[in-house]
Amino acid sequence: MELRKIFDTIPEQFDQFRPKYSGELFEYLVNFTQLGPEKKVLELGPGTGQATDPILETGCDYNAIELGEHLYTKMREKYDQYPNFHIVNDDFITYDFGQQRFDLIYSAATIQWIPEETAFSKTFGLLKPGGTLAMMLTRADYRTPNEELYQQIQKIYGQYFKPEIPYAHRGFKYDNAQNYGFVDFQEHDFHGRREMSADEYVSYCGTHCDHIVIPEPYKTLFFEGLRNAVEENGGKVVFEDTYVLYLARKPQNL
């Protein structure tokens, strides 16, 4: 199985433990794009809706494309009651959107799974003139709140973190959007804080794609090690989060 499809094997866990994004981030994005019922939006790979509600609730014509069959089903369970909600179960890389064009296309930690040329060229072509591409991600810092816990967790990673399929998408260059016709590239940072118990932290780590594919016996030893490390260091993990929002615009005259 491709690593980008691994999330589809854990839809319920993914829905429960994947973090949401900053409310301030969405407020900024909604104001920046002036979202409302007259705007048409496309979300790339929504998962189970970690970045969906604030956009859908603007009343915009919300559309999404989700690769995972089970994630797609979960999205429909949660949002089918909204008259402005539309989703297809398909691969953005190959899907034909026909004549559809969008005022906003956005990705919450998804676009890096798409080859750069396809990611930027296809979104550029699907945007209306003046439309916005928004890309968001979370940088999670649990080292600053507890250095000792951080070091213990790094030892566990060194011993037992042996995924069968490595994650190879950390080098995605968001600012390369400018090489494909996008203009007015911007970065905005927003901040938040999360606190998890040992069990919550283990469940959250179990939603990372490369953590799911750790083989036994390493998988059990890895997650037991994480749980024990947290329990031995106050029983909680604190994250100081930075929510990053990248914005780029298709020129008005195209």
pLDDT score at 167? 73
136 touches 243 (CB < 8 A): yes
Return mean pLDDT, the chain. 95
In the predicted model, is pLDDT for residue 4 greater than 90? no
Say which amino acid occupies 120.
F
| DSSP for residue 18 | S
pLDDT score at 169? 66
pLDDT score at 57? 97
pLDDT per position as a tens digit, 79-102: 999 999 999 999 999 999 999 999
In the predicted model, is pLDDT for residue 125 greater than 90? yes
Beta-sheet strands, E only, within the chain: 40-44, 61-66, 85-89, 102-108, 127-141, 183-197, 236-249
For the chain, report the end-to-end CA distance as a whole number of angstroms: 39
3-state DSSP assignment of residue 104: strand
Torsion, Cα of 158, 163, 165, 168 (10° steps): -30
138 touches 243 (CB < 8 A): yes
Q: Which residue has the higher pLDDT, 37 or 6?
A: 37
pTM of this structure: 0.94
User: Which has the closest alpha carbon to 51: 61, 38, 60, 64?
Assistant: 64
Level-2 CATH architecture, domain 3-249: 3-Layer(aba) Sandwich (3.40)
Show the tokens assigned to 132: 């916005």
Q: Where are the domains of the chain?
A: 3-249
